[in-house]
Structure 1
């Protein structure tokens, strides 16, 4: 793939994750090695990566995720309830809603769960510039997802489990000063039809020099 093809076809994969095909740990490590080339604030490189492959551990994390997702799916902000006044977009949102529910029921069966984390040196996150804080791990997490795509793996960016972050921290034995940024289910995917997704025209969201 060209860089443009990679960047425009790296989709959120939920229903098409292959739950039966093992993913070699070396392949995950290869993608993470690419991810470590991403920038971080002041080059601190305070990221940490938890890769969960043990079936029991995956099932436990998956159960927490399912609990969090149940509350999300019944909320007013759930994907299927957005843009209800736009028939064409509502159809897409309902498909997203259904795929979120599908993954929630099977999260614990995904062969690899990758959890990017930040080690901050304190149990409580500092007040103030949260963008600067998370900007030191999120680019690397996205680089992991792009690398995984280039190696034939599908991923999904999820954060719903953070409602119960402490429970997942207990399952994984995380120190108090390690904070989770996301949960990225990772597996081989089925099918080959990934393509650019419908998006708003650039001119509708672009502001040059001033908002208006």
Structure 2
């Protein structure tokens, strides 16, 4: 697949309903994407990230079960995607589609061929704003997702599993000083390709020199 940088950045979508649950994903391809992810910046060049790649069917099923339980709670909360912007007909319709696709992923997370969990070695989580901490994981995780997109793989950034972080850590043998930050389902996608998403105009969120 040949794709320009601009097209890659504007068409890397959250893939949920279009994940191909039946087609195996070669581990070497996942490792190739992660090798690219390791070129991302890391705070103070610590590189304290770890990547747990889950392909075992029983473990994927167990993680999927935890994810679905967390989804059910989230779906009923005020922060649920389907409940947002209810007073804006245009955005409400989009939110309903997002909610439906998120529900589909929750029901099928355990069937996704590869689950990638990005982690950081952290002796203790700091109080207050943690942007500086997770800023050492997010760029690398996004680089993984971009590399996957360039290779015909679909992904989605998810974090609902963190409601069961301890249970999943036990399942996978993750040490106590390692914290999970993201769960990235990874699979080939169905259909042709992806287009640009509808976003709010830049001028509605841009602030120059002051708010």
Fold similarity call, TM over 0.5: yes
Deviation of residue 126 (structure 1)? Answer: 2.3
CA distance in 1, matches of 2:199, 2:32: 31
For the residues of structure 1 that align with 2:76 and 2:145, how far apart are their CA atoms? 28
C-alpha RMSD of matched pairs (Å): 0.8
- Answering whether residue 30 of structure 2 is matched by residue 28 of structure 1, we say yes
Paired with 1:128 and 1:99, the residues of 2 have a C-alpha distance of 33
Aligned to 2:9: 7
Structure 1 portions without partners, runs of 5+: none
User: Distance in 1 between the 2:161 and 2:129 partners?
Assistant: 23
Deviation at 1:128, TM superposition (A): 4.2
Once the two structures are superposed, residues 151-202 of structure 1 have per-residue CA deviations (whole angstroms, 9 ceiling, x without a partner) of 0000000001111111111111110000000100000000124101011111
SS at match of 1:113: strand
How far off its partner does 1:127 sit? 2.3
User: CA offsets, 1:91-130, max 9 Å, x none?
Assistant: 110010011110001000000000000012x2x3122451
Give 1:180-195 correspondences, 5 Å limit: 180-195=180-195
Q: Structure 2: where are the runs of 5+ without partners? A: none
Q: Distance in 2 between matches of 1:161 and 1:73?
A: 14
Deviation string 1:24-83 (CA, Å, 9 cap, x unpaired) is 000000000000000000000000000000000100111000000010011111111111
Counterpart-to-counterpart distance in 2, 1:174 and 1:65: 17
- What's 1:93 paired with? 95
Q: Which moved more, 1:160-169 or 1:3-12?
A: 160-169
- 1:23 counterpart SS class: coil
Q: CA–CA distance in 2 between the matches of 1:110 and 1:146?
A: 18
Q: After the TM superposition, which residues 63-82 of structure 1 pair with which residues of structure 2 at under 5 Å, given as runs?
A: 63-82=65-84
Match of 1:134 in 2: 134
Runs of 4+ deviating beyond 4 Å: none
Aligned position for 1:119: 121
Residue 84 of structure 1 corresponds to 86
Distance between the aligned counterparts of 1:91 and 1:126, measured in 2?
38
Helix, strand or coil for the counterpart of 1:183?
A: strand
